[in-house]
Amino acid sequence: MAGETVLVVGGAGYIGSHTCLDLANKGFQPVVYDNFSNGHREFVKWGPAEEGDIRDRARLDEVLAKYKPAAILHFAALIEVGESVKDPVSFYENNVIGTLTLLSAAQAAGIGAFVFSSTCATYGLPQSVPLDESHRQVPINPYGRTKYIVEQALADYDQYKGLRSVVLRYFNAAGADFEGRIGEWHTPETHAIPLAIDAALGRRQGFKVFGSDYDTRDGTCVRDYIHVLDLADAHVRAVEYLLRGGESVALNLGTGTGTTVKELLSTIETVSNRPFPVEYVGRREGDSTTLVANNDKARDVLGWSPKYDLSRIIESAWNWHAKSNQH
């Protein structure tokens, strides 16, 4: 498979760019397709970039004809849950209509291997923890629903059109390339680790914790933080699996270890050696008490298991945010 071209749609974004790095390290040729609305041109370092929108069928056809990729990795989505509640139309137009347009172009180009960036938000409120792939899918916001709709479409494309896919349901992506070449860079930033690191760096006044009365070991929410390089590794393994003829499958990507918000903040203080102000406020609507992955299936199907623990996640993120000037 070495030397195969892979089209990385949304490859200038956070997880997409780290996956391009991993693809290149494993002998693939990544080609980035991105409209750069949220991605960064500076993050395109391991292959050519083609500017375009996933809703632009003519542009997709042109790029697919030019590069003839063996597989497509699809990261291009609007992801902010709060924004999806305020502006669901944009989420449906990009995440659903855009993906269906991309799938049509992929089919017309004869591509039979498609890896989809999904989310544990398709599960909704957990009925049991850790969550495995058989957990019911009842998303509670437009973001989760748009991803779930695409998952259902992919199942139909597989059954009726022969387009095989791997659906990867992320838990909490975190961390950065250890060499500091790329990292997490969202505008505005809404994710806990970069916000807390910015507080430790004095770039913001402090960190707000939403809810301290949950039924957890210290009263704060529990999340499963997974290093972005572990996510990238899973995506490349998914491409290899499909190119070897693997069947369509949906897989959780998490560590299986839950971390409370208090534990997260304590780790950031330890790694950075910089205490910062923390304010405890009321619960935020829609937050689940505990989200932790059962990742057994990804191990069994892809031979994948995460390498990096929370301390390594924070070390890599601290290195990136402390040296970067994107703020």
DSSP-H helix ranges across the chain? 14-25, 57-67, 81-86, 88-91, 99-108, 142-156, 192-200, 228-243, 261-272, 296-302, 310-323
Evaluate whether 258 touches 222 at the Cβ level (below 8 Å): yes
Q: Which of 14, 33, 143, 170 is catalytic?
A: 143
Structure token pair of residue 147: 């991803």
**Letter for the amino acid at 290?**
T
| Distance of alpha carbon 48 from alpha carbon 31, whole angstroms | 5
Annotation marks residue 143 as catalytic: yes
Q: Which of 239, 20, 28, 298 is nearest to 113 (CA)?
A: 239
Phi, psi angle pair for 155, to nearest 5°: -60, -40
Whole-angstrom CA distances from 271 to 193, 223, 264, 274 are: 12, 19, 11, 8
Residues designated as active site: 143
